[in-house]
Structure 1
Amino acid sequence: MEQIAMVKSILDNGMAQVAVQRETACGAAHSCADCAGCEKMMTRTENVVVAYNDVNAHPGDVVKVQSENGNFFKTAAIVYLLPLVLALVFYGVASALSLGGEGLHALCAGIGFVLGILVAVAWDRHMKKVSGLRFHIVEVKRACSGM
């Protein structure tokens, strides 16, 4: 996945802190500041991440940042799909075993969903600890010569 970002600072280890503008929530090609619906849903307009400075970018430069897709898609699957899959599996198992009525089946589905959320939170903490989502600056789009 590639995004355009601005270099905020260069860290002591040679990596760069970059600010990536958040995409619109609705996916439309417009400014979210002009849309009252989007504006109310968005609380943060940029994400700040640390990226490998492969092209020797400087603070103020507008750069293209690329993430490593394997870990990104694995994380997305765990965070978005696992809770739903576990809810359906727990519901299906409760239904197949004829455990109680429909209310108990729904409770089992809820337990599966919560378990999926807990796994997703644990995975997120693990990925932050091991720097699992890595970003690389691959191109300087516009150099800022004034800084």
Structure 2
Amino acid sequence: MLETGQVISAENGQAQVHFKRTSACERCGACGMLANGQDMIVTLENTIEARPGDQVVVQMQTQGMLQASAIAYVIPLLLLIAGAVLGKLALAPLFAGVESDVVAAISGIALCALGFLGIHLLEPRLRRQKRFQLQMVSVHRAAQGREEEQIDKE
């Protein structure tokens, strides 16, 4: 995935980059959206010495994006289904007088919620892994009385 954004600040080896929201990242949630829902500001490691006003191209590896999506969406869904099946088959007989579908629904939701809690607790560790991080790959310098230059990360 490649996206282009504009650097709004750069200091201490970090850059804040402003992106217009595109359909490709419509529901990802990997970064912070601004109030209008169409813009995002992301803090990235400034590996190519981008300066405020520069246009930068950032990339996330496809494999990392797919793994992040699986963690965020597939795992909780599987836990919801597993919890419902477990509730229907194993827990419902323990709660005589309670509809088995109610027990299945409650256990499914409970297991799904535990999955989201686990993801939330693991997020800081996952966020540090390179495969889940956006990386700057090129910069187009803002024109300052001279021709615009392009710098690519090799």
Distance in 1, matches of 2:67 and 2:76, equals: 14
Indicate whether 1:83 and 2:76 are aligned: yes
Alignment partner for residue 41 of structure 2, among 34, 37, 48?
Answer: 48
Structure 1 segments (4+ residues) deviating >4 Å:
none
Larger-Rg structure: 2
Question: How far apart are 1:111 and its partner, in Å?
Answer: 1.0
State the match for 2:67 in structure 1. Answer: 74
8 Å Cα contact 1:84-1:116 kept in structure 2: no
State the match for 2:30 in structure 1. Answer: none
Counterpart AA for 1:63: V
Distance in 1, matches of 2:6 and 2:129, equals: 21
> How many pairs does the alignment contain?
129
8 Å Cα contact 2:15-2:43 kept in structure 1: yes
Instruction: Please identify, of 116-125 and 78-87, the stretch whose mean Cα deviation from structure 2 is larger.
Output: 116-125
Q: Secondary structure at the match of 2:123?
A: helix
8 Å Cα contact 1:17-1:51 kept in structure 2: yes
Counterparts in 2 of 1:46 and 1:123: CA distance versus 1, 3 Å: farther
Question: How far apart are 1:45 and its partner, in Å?
Answer: 2.6
Counterpart AA for 1:58: R
State the match for 2:110 in structure 1. Answer: 111
Distance in 1, matches of 2:21 and 2:58, equals: 13
State the match for 1:30 in structure 2. Answer: none
Unaligned runs of 5+ in 1: 28-41
Which deviations, in whole Å up to 9, do the C-alpha atoms of 1:92-132 show, x marking residues without a partner? 1222336242211111111112112212222334334x366
Counterpart AA for 1:145: A
Q: Secondary structure at the match of 2:92?
A: coil
8 Å Cα contact 2:91-2:103 kept in structure 1: no
Higher RCO (CA 8 Å, separation ≥ 6 residues): 1
TM-score normalised to structure 2 length: 0.68
Identity of aligned residues (%): 22
State the match for 2:151 in structure 1. Answer: none
Q: Secondary structure at the match of 1:18?
A: strand
8 Å Cα contact 1:20-1:47 kept in structure 2: yes
TM-score normalised to structure 1 length: 0.70
Unaligned runs of 5+ in 2: 27-34, 94-99, 146-154
